[in-house]
Amino acid sequence: MIEAIGTYLPPWGAAVSRTAGDDEDVVTMAVAAGLQALGAASPSVVILVSRDLPLLEGGSGAALLAGLSLPPDTEVREVLGGAPAALEAVVGARPGTLVIGADIKGGAGAAAAIIGTAGATITPAGRYNRSLPVVTRDATGRTTDYADPRLLRELGQRASLEHFRGSTAAVAGITVKEAAALLDGRPPLLPTLGASAALFALAALAGDGGRLLAIEQATVTAADLGTVAVAVARDEAAAQPPPKLRPGAEAEIAISLAAYERAFDAKLRLEAARCLSCGTLSYPERYRCLTCGTEAATEPVPLPRDAEVYSLATVHVPVPGLATPYTIVLADLGDSGVRLLGRLTGAPPGSVEIGSRGRMVFRRVAVRTGVPDYGYAFLPEPTTSEPTTSEAAA
Protein backbone atom coordinates (compact mmCIF):
# COMPACT_ATOMS: atom_id res chain seq x y z
CA MET A 1 0.00 0.00 0.00
CA ILE A 2 1.13 3.55 -0.71
CA GLU A 3 1.07 5.69 2.43
CA ALA A 4 2.53 8.96 1.13
CA ILE A 5 4.02 10.52 -2.00
CA GLY A 6 6.52 13.36 -2.32
CA THR A 7 7.59 15.26 -5.43
CA TYR A 8 10.33 17.70 -6.39
CA LEU A 9 10.83 19.91 -9.46
CA PRO A 10 13.84 22.21 -9.99
CA PRO A 11 12.90 25.88 -10.41
CA TRP A 12 14.72 26.23 -13.73
CA GLY A 13 13.15 25.86 -17.18
CA ALA A 14 9.76 26.30 -18.79
CA ALA A 15 6.31 25.36 -17.53
CA VAL A 16 6.31 22.19 -19.66
CA SER A 17 9.71 20.84 -18.61
CA ARG A 18 12.30 21.62 -15.95
CA THR A 19 16.10 21.66 -16.13
CA ALA A 20 18.38 20.59 -13.29
CA GLY A 21 20.53 23.34 -11.82
CA ASP A 22 24.31 23.16 -12.09
CA ASP A 23 24.38 22.03 -8.44
CA GLU A 24 21.78 19.29 -8.88
CA ASP A 25 21.87 15.68 -9.99
CA VAL A 26 19.78 12.54 -9.50
CA VAL A 27 20.90 12.15 -5.87
CA THR A 28 20.09 15.73 -4.79
CA MET A 29 16.67 15.59 -6.46
CA ALA A 30 16.01 12.14 -4.97
CA VAL A 31 16.77 13.56 -1.51
CA ALA A 32 14.40 16.50 -2.07
CA ALA A 33 11.51 14.22 -3.14
CA GLY A 34 12.30 11.63 -0.49
CA LEU A 35 12.18 14.19 2.32
CA GLN A 36 8.75 15.29 1.12
CA ALA A 37 7.47 11.71 1.29
CA LEU A 38 9.15 10.62 4.51
CA GLY A 39 7.49 12.73 7.17
CA ALA A 40 8.06 10.79 10.38
CA ALA A 41 8.59 7.47 8.56
CA SER A 42 11.87 5.59 8.94
CA PRO A 43 12.12 3.11 6.05
CA SER A 44 14.32 0.05 6.23
CA VAL A 45 14.86 -0.05 2.45
CA VAL A 46 15.45 2.74 -0.09
CA ILE A 47 15.15 2.00 -3.82
CA LEU A 48 16.43 4.64 -6.27
CA VAL A 49 15.42 4.16 -9.93
CA SER A 50 16.95 6.27 -12.70
CA ARG A 51 18.65 6.20 -16.08
CA ASP A 52 20.97 9.00 -14.93
CA LEU A 53 22.70 7.55 -11.85
CA PRO A 54 25.85 9.65 -11.18
CA LEU A 55 28.03 6.69 -10.13
CA LEU A 56 27.74 3.31 -11.80
CA GLU A 57 30.67 1.99 -9.78
CA GLY A 58 30.83 2.50 -6.04
CA GLY A 59 27.24 3.71 -5.90
CA SER A 60 25.57 6.73 -4.33
CA GLY A 61 23.87 4.95 -1.42
CA ALA A 62 25.91 6.61 1.33
CA ALA A 63 25.24 10.12 0.02
CA LEU A 64 21.55 9.35 -0.50
CA LEU A 65 21.09 8.09 3.07
CA ALA A 66 23.03 11.02 4.52
CA GLY A 67 20.88 13.54 2.66
CA LEU A 68 17.73 11.78 3.86
CA SER A 69 19.08 11.63 7.45
CA LEU A 70 18.61 7.86 7.49
CA PRO A 71 20.92 5.42 9.31
CA PRO A 72 23.91 4.23 7.27
CA ASP A 73 22.87 0.58 7.75
CA THR A 74 19.63 1.17 5.78
CA GLU A 75 19.46 -1.08 2.72
CA VAL A 76 19.87 0.82 -0.57
CA ARG A 77 19.15 -0.51 -4.05
CA GLU A 78 20.10 1.51 -7.11
CA VAL A 79 18.15 0.40 -10.20
CA LEU A 80 19.04 1.48 -13.72
CA GLY A 81 15.70 1.88 -15.46
CA GLY A 82 12.80 4.05 -16.56
CA ALA A 83 9.10 4.34 -15.76
CA PRO A 84 8.32 0.56 -15.92
CA ALA A 85 11.19 -0.22 -13.54
CA ALA A 86 9.99 2.43 -11.07
CA LEU A 87 6.39 1.18 -11.17
CA GLU A 88 7.54 -2.43 -10.69
CA ALA A 89 9.64 -1.31 -7.71
CA VAL A 90 6.55 0.24 -6.10
CA VAL A 91 4.34 -2.77 -6.82
CA GLY A 92 6.91 -5.28 -5.53
CA ALA A 93 8.12 -3.35 -2.48
CA ARG A 94 7.42 -4.59 1.02
CA PRO A 95 6.15 -2.28 3.80
CA GLY A 96 8.86 0.01 5.11
CA THR A 97 10.29 0.81 1.67
CA LEU A 98 10.93 4.23 0.16
CA VAL A 99 10.87 4.11 -3.66
CA ILE A 100 12.32 7.11 -5.50
CA GLY A 101 12.43 7.83 -9.22
CA ALA A 102 14.67 10.67 -10.44
CA ASP A 103 15.53 12.03 -13.88
CA ILE A 104 17.75 14.56 -15.62
CA LYS A 105 16.79 13.94 -19.25
CA GLY A 106 13.26 14.20 -20.59
CA GLY A 107 12.39 16.74 -17.91
CA ALA A 108 14.27 17.00 -14.61
CA GLY A 109 12.53 16.04 -11.40
CA ALA A 110 12.01 13.37 -8.78
CA ALA A 111 9.13 11.70 -6.97
CA ALA A 112 9.02 9.25 -4.07
CA ALA A 113 6.51 6.91 -2.45
CA ILE A 114 6.44 5.33 1.03
CA ILE A 115 5.15 1.76 1.00
CA GLY A 116 3.41 0.73 4.21
CA THR A 117 0.54 -1.21 5.74
CA ALA A 118 -2.09 1.51 5.23
CA GLY A 119 -3.12 3.78 2.39
CA ALA A 120 -4.03 3.11 -1.24
CA THR A 121 -3.57 -0.39 -2.59
CA ILE A 122 -1.52 -0.86 -5.72
CA THR A 123 -1.71 -4.19 -7.51
CA PRO A 124 0.07 -5.47 -10.61
CA ALA A 125 -2.06 -5.62 -13.76
CA GLY A 126 0.55 -7.21 -16.03
CA ARG A 127 3.65 -6.42 -18.03
CA TYR A 128 4.67 -6.88 -21.63
CA ASN A 129 8.35 -6.96 -22.59
CA ARG A 130 8.93 -6.15 -26.22
CA SER A 131 12.23 -5.29 -27.90
CA LEU A 132 12.39 -2.28 -30.18
CA PRO A 133 15.65 -0.51 -29.27
CA VAL A 134 15.09 2.87 -30.91
CA VAL A 135 17.41 4.55 -28.37
CA THR A 136 20.53 2.71 -27.21
CA ARG A 137 23.53 3.36 -24.95
CA ASP A 138 26.70 1.30 -25.03
CA ALA A 139 29.25 0.47 -22.34
CA THR A 140 31.19 3.69 -22.98
CA GLY A 141 28.09 5.84 -22.45
CA ARG A 142 27.62 6.70 -26.12
CA THR A 143 23.92 7.13 -26.96
CA THR A 144 22.40 6.44 -30.36
CA ASP A 145 18.90 7.65 -31.21
CA TYR A 146 17.55 6.07 -34.37
CA ALA A 147 14.94 8.87 -34.48
CA ASP A 148 12.00 6.90 -35.80
CA PRO A 149 9.08 7.94 -33.58
CA ARG A 150 6.47 6.56 -35.98
CA LEU A 151 8.07 3.09 -35.92
CA LEU A 152 8.23 3.17 -32.13
CA ARG A 153 4.63 4.35 -31.83
CA GLU A 154 3.04 1.98 -34.35
CA LEU A 155 5.12 -1.20 -34.02
CA GLY A 156 6.28 -0.72 -30.44
CA GLN A 157 3.98 1.20 -28.11
CA ARG A 158 0.67 0.56 -29.85
CA ALA A 159 1.40 -3.15 -30.27
CA SER A 160 2.38 -3.45 -26.61
CA LEU A 161 -0.67 -1.53 -25.39
CA GLU A 162 -2.94 -3.94 -27.27
CA HIS A 163 -2.24 -6.39 -24.43
CA PHE A 164 -3.92 -4.08 -21.87
CA ARG A 165 -7.60 -3.71 -22.64
CA GLY A 166 -9.94 -1.49 -20.67
CA SER A 167 -9.84 2.06 -19.40
CA THR A 168 -6.52 3.66 -18.46
CA ALA A 169 -6.29 6.63 -16.10
CA ALA A 170 -2.66 7.67 -16.70
CA VAL A 171 0.33 6.85 -18.86
CA ALA A 172 3.93 7.46 -17.70
CA GLY A 173 7.03 7.52 -19.89
CA ILE A 174 5.64 9.26 -22.99
CA THR A 175 4.35 12.77 -23.65
CA VAL A 176 0.70 13.54 -23.10
CA LYS A 177 0.31 14.13 -26.83
CA GLU A 178 1.62 10.65 -27.59
CA ALA A 179 -0.50 9.15 -24.83
CA ALA A 180 -3.66 10.84 -26.11
CA ALA A 181 -3.01 9.44 -29.60
CA LEU A 182 -2.76 5.92 -28.22
CA LEU A 183 -5.59 5.96 -25.69
CA ASP A 184 -9.14 7.19 -25.31
CA GLY A 185 -9.45 10.34 -23.24
CA ARG A 186 -6.74 12.68 -21.95
CA PRO A 187 -4.37 11.31 -19.31
CA PRO A 188 -2.82 13.60 -16.65
CA LEU A 189 0.00 15.92 -17.62
CA LEU A 190 3.33 14.78 -16.17
CA PRO A 191 6.54 16.85 -15.88
CA THR A 192 9.02 14.04 -16.66
CA LEU A 193 9.37 11.11 -19.04
CA GLY A 194 11.73 8.81 -17.11
CA ALA A 195 11.59 6.78 -13.92
CA SER A 196 9.99 9.55 -11.87
CA ALA A 197 7.10 9.81 -14.35
CA ALA A 198 5.50 6.68 -12.87
CA LEU A 199 5.55 8.22 -9.38
CA PHE A 200 4.33 11.62 -10.61
CA ALA A 201 1.45 9.71 -12.22
CA LEU A 202 0.63 8.01 -8.91
CA ALA A 203 0.57 11.45 -7.29
CA ALA A 204 -1.84 12.66 -9.99
CA LEU A 205 -4.13 9.67 -9.40
CA ALA A 206 -4.00 9.84 -5.58
CA GLY A 207 -7.53 9.64 -4.20
CA ASP A 208 -9.14 8.90 -7.57
CA GLY A 209 -7.32 5.68 -8.38
CA GLY A 210 -7.29 3.92 -11.71
CA ARG A 211 -5.00 2.02 -14.03
CA LEU A 212 -1.51 3.31 -14.70
CA LEU A 213 0.61 2.23 -17.65
CA ALA A 214 4.36 2.84 -17.54
CA ILE A 215 6.14 2.75 -20.91
CA GLU A 216 9.79 2.72 -21.94
CA GLN A 217 10.33 2.29 -25.66
CA ALA A 218 8.18 -0.82 -26.37
CA THR A 219 8.01 -2.26 -22.85
CA VAL A 220 4.88 -1.68 -20.77
CA THR A 221 4.06 -2.35 -17.10
CA ALA A 222 0.52 -1.89 -15.74
CA ALA A 223 -0.76 -1.45 -12.18
CA ASP A 224 -4.08 -0.53 -10.57
CA LEU A 225 -4.18 2.12 -7.82
CA GLY A 226 -6.97 2.06 -5.24
CA THR A 227 -9.19 5.02 -4.43
CA VAL A 228 -8.12 5.57 -0.81
CA ALA A 229 -6.70 9.08 -0.34
CA VAL A 230 -2.91 9.36 -0.20
CA ALA A 231 -1.06 12.34 1.27
CA VAL A 232 0.94 14.11 -1.45
CA ALA A 233 3.60 16.67 -0.46
CA ARG A 234 5.08 18.75 -3.27
CA ASP A 235 8.27 20.79 -3.49
CA GLU A 236 7.57 22.40 -6.85
CA ALA A 237 8.68 26.01 -7.17
CA ALA A 238 7.38 28.19 -10.00
CA ALA A 239 9.39 27.87 -13.20
CA GLN A 240 11.90 30.62 -13.99
CA PRO A 241 14.46 31.07 -16.80
CA PRO A 242 17.87 29.53 -16.02
CA PRO A 243 20.52 32.16 -15.17
CA LYS A 244 23.11 32.94 -17.82
CA LEU A 245 26.37 31.46 -16.56
CA ARG A 246 29.90 31.24 -17.94
CA PRO A 247 31.65 27.85 -17.81
CA GLY A 248 34.32 27.43 -15.18
CA ALA A 249 38.04 27.26 -15.87
CA GLU A 250 39.14 24.13 -17.71
CA ALA A 251 41.69 23.05 -15.09
CA GLU A 252 40.41 20.42 -12.67
CA ILE A 253 40.85 20.28 -8.90
CA ALA A 254 41.53 16.70 -7.81
CA ILE A 255 39.62 15.32 -4.84
CA SER A 256 41.33 14.12 -1.68
CA LEU A 257 39.43 10.96 -0.78
CA ALA A 258 40.88 11.01 2.74
CA ALA A 259 39.49 14.53 3.35
CA TYR A 260 36.25 13.58 1.60
CA GLU A 261 35.71 10.65 3.96
CA ARG A 262 36.74 12.60 7.06
CA ALA A 263 34.14 15.33 6.46
CA PHE A 264 31.45 13.10 4.91
CA ASP A 265 28.98 12.61 7.78
CA ALA A 266 29.17 16.12 9.20
CA LYS A 267 28.87 17.77 5.80
CA LEU A 268 26.19 15.56 4.25
CA ARG A 269 24.11 14.97 7.38
CA LEU A 270 24.56 18.61 8.52
CA GLU A 271 25.66 17.63 12.00
CA ALA A 272 27.70 19.65 14.48
CA ALA A 273 29.85 18.22 17.27
CA ARG A 274 28.68 19.09 20.81
CA CYS A 275 31.24 19.27 23.59
CA LEU A 276 30.20 16.91 26.37
CA SER A 277 31.83 19.15 28.96
CA CYS A 278 30.31 22.56 28.20
CA GLY A 279 27.80 21.99 25.38
CA THR A 280 29.56 24.20 22.79
CA LEU A 281 28.77 23.30 19.17
CA SER A 282 31.49 23.19 16.56
CA TYR A 283 31.07 22.74 12.82
CA PRO A 284 33.08 21.03 11.55
CA GLU A 285 34.23 19.08 14.61
CA ARG A 286 37.34 20.42 16.32
CA TYR A 287 39.97 18.50 18.21
CA ARG A 288 39.89 21.00 21.08
CA CYS A 289 36.75 22.83 22.31
CA LEU A 290 37.02 26.58 21.66
CA THR A 291 35.10 27.40 24.86
CA CYS A 292 36.47 25.13 27.59
CA GLY A 293 39.58 23.78 25.90
CA THR A 294 38.80 20.13 26.56
CA GLU A 295 39.96 17.43 24.17
CA ALA A 296 37.34 14.97 25.39
CA ALA A 297 34.85 13.17 23.17
CA THR A 298 31.95 14.95 21.47
CA GLU A 299 28.53 13.83 20.22
CA PRO A 300 26.91 14.59 16.84
CA VAL A 301 23.92 16.96 16.88
CA PRO A 302 21.67 17.66 13.86
CA LEU A 303 21.72 21.33 12.91
CA PRO A 304 18.60 23.35 12.03
CA ARG A 305 17.82 23.70 8.33
CA ASP A 306 16.15 27.13 8.62
CA ALA A 307 18.66 29.86 7.89
CA GLU A 308 19.19 33.63 7.64
CA VAL A 309 21.86 35.36 5.56
CA TYR A 310 24.55 36.90 7.78
CA SER A 311 26.89 37.89 4.95
CA LEU A 312 27.32 37.17 1.24
CA ALA A 313 29.42 37.78 -1.86
CA THR A 314 28.84 37.26 -5.58
CA VAL A 315 31.86 35.82 -7.39
CA HIS A 316 32.58 36.59 -11.05
CA VAL A 317 36.15 35.24 -11.28
CA PRO A 318 36.27 31.86 -13.14
CA VAL A 319 37.40 28.92 -11.03
CA PRO A 320 37.78 25.24 -11.97
CA GLY A 321 34.55 23.27 -11.84
CA LEU A 322 32.17 26.18 -11.14
CA ALA A 323 30.19 28.31 -13.58
CA THR A 324 30.12 32.04 -12.85
CA PRO A 325 28.69 34.21 -11.52
CA TYR A 326 27.63 32.51 -8.29
CA THR A 327 26.72 33.82 -4.86
CA ILE A 328 28.16 32.41 -1.66
CA VAL A 329 26.26 32.93 1.58
CA LEU A 330 27.29 32.82 5.22
CA ALA A 331 24.07 31.84 7.01
CA ASP A 332 23.00 31.59 10.63
CA LEU A 333 21.37 28.18 11.22
CA GLY A 334 18.27 28.69 13.38
CA ASP A 335 19.18 29.52 16.98
CA SER A 336 22.12 27.09 17.07
CA GLY A 337 24.80 29.78 16.97
CA VAL A 338 26.43 27.94 14.06
CA ARG A 339 27.10 29.68 10.74
CA LEU A 340 27.47 27.77 7.50
CA LEU A 341 29.10 28.85 4.24
CA GLY A 342 27.37 27.65 1.09
CA ARG A 343 26.25 28.66 -2.38
CA LEU A 344 22.94 30.28 -3.21
CA THR A 345 20.64 27.85 -5.04
CA GLY A 346 17.23 28.05 -6.70
CA ALA A 347 17.56 31.80 -7.32
CA PRO A 348 19.61 34.02 -9.69
CA PRO A 349 23.09 35.04 -8.43
CA GLY A 350 22.99 38.27 -6.44
CA SER A 351 19.26 38.05 -5.74
CA VAL A 352 19.45 37.83 -1.92
CA GLU A 353 20.64 40.27 0.72
CA ILE A 354 21.73 40.28 4.35
CA GLY A 355 18.75 39.24 6.45
CA SER A 356 17.11 37.14 3.73
CA ARG A 357 15.55 34.02 5.17
CA GLY A 358 15.41 30.52 3.71
CA ARG A 359 16.57 26.99 4.37
CA MET A 360 19.62 24.85 3.76
CA VAL A 361 19.04 22.16 1.14
CA PHE A 362 21.08 19.18 -0.05
CA ARG A 363 23.01 20.02 -3.22
CA ARG A 364 26.07 18.97 -5.22
CA VAL A 365 29.00 21.22 -4.38
CA ALA A 366 31.25 20.06 -7.22
CA VAL A 367 32.41 17.07 -9.23
CA ARG A 368 36.09 16.45 -8.61
CA THR A 369 37.90 13.88 -10.75
CA GLY A 370 34.62 12.07 -11.32
CA VAL A 371 33.46 12.06 -7.67
CA PRO A 372 30.29 14.05 -6.85
CA ASP A 373 30.95 16.12 -3.73
CA TYR A 374 27.74 16.97 -1.83
CA GLY A 375 26.90 19.52 0.84
CA TYR A 376 24.30 22.20 1.56
CA ALA A 377 23.23 25.38 -0.21
CA PHE A 378 20.99 28.27 0.79
CA LEU A 379 17.52 28.25 -0.78
CA PRO A 380 15.71 31.56 -0.15
CA GLU A 381 12.05 31.75 0.78
CA PRO A 382 9.80 32.39 -2.24
CA THR A 383 8.87 36.01 -2.71
CA THR A 384 5.61 35.28 -4.51
CA SER A 385 2.96 32.59 -4.24
CA GLU A 386 3.87 29.49 -6.20
CA PRO A 387 1.74 26.71 -7.66
CA THR A 388 1.69 23.36 -5.91
CA THR A 389 0.62 21.24 -8.86
CA SER A 390 2.86 19.57 -11.38
CA GLU A 391 3.32 21.18 -14.74
CA ALA A 392 3.32 19.16 -17.91
CA ALA A 393 5.87 17.72 -20.25
CA ALA A 394 3.81 18.10 -23.41
Q: What is the mean pLDDT of residues 194-204?
A: 97
- Report the SS3 class of residue 71: coil
Q: Do 18 and 10 form a contact (C-beta atoms < 8 A)? A: yes
Query: Which pLDDT value is given to residue 165?
Result: 64
Task: Quickly count: other Cβ atoms within 10 Å of residue 385's Cβ.
Answer: 7
pLDDT of residue 392 exceeding 60: no
| Burial class for 350, CB neighbours closer than 10 Å (0-12, 13-18, 19+) | middle
Give percent of the chain above pLDDT 70: 90
pLDDT of residue 385 exceeding 70: no
Query: Which pLDDT value is given to residue 177?
Result: 80
Q: Do 232 and 2 form a contact (C-beta atoms < 8 A)? A: no
pLDDT digits (tens, 9 = 90+) for 115-138: 999 999 999 998 887 766 767 777
pLDDT of residue 145 exceeding 50: yes
pLDDT digits (tens, 9 = 90+) for 245-303: 888 877 778 888 888 888 899 999 999 999 999 999 999 888 899 899 999 889 999 99
Nearest to 83 by CA among 177, 207, 236, 218: 218
pLDDT band at 184 (very low <50, low <70, confident <90, very high): low
How high does pLDDT run on average in the chain?
A: 89
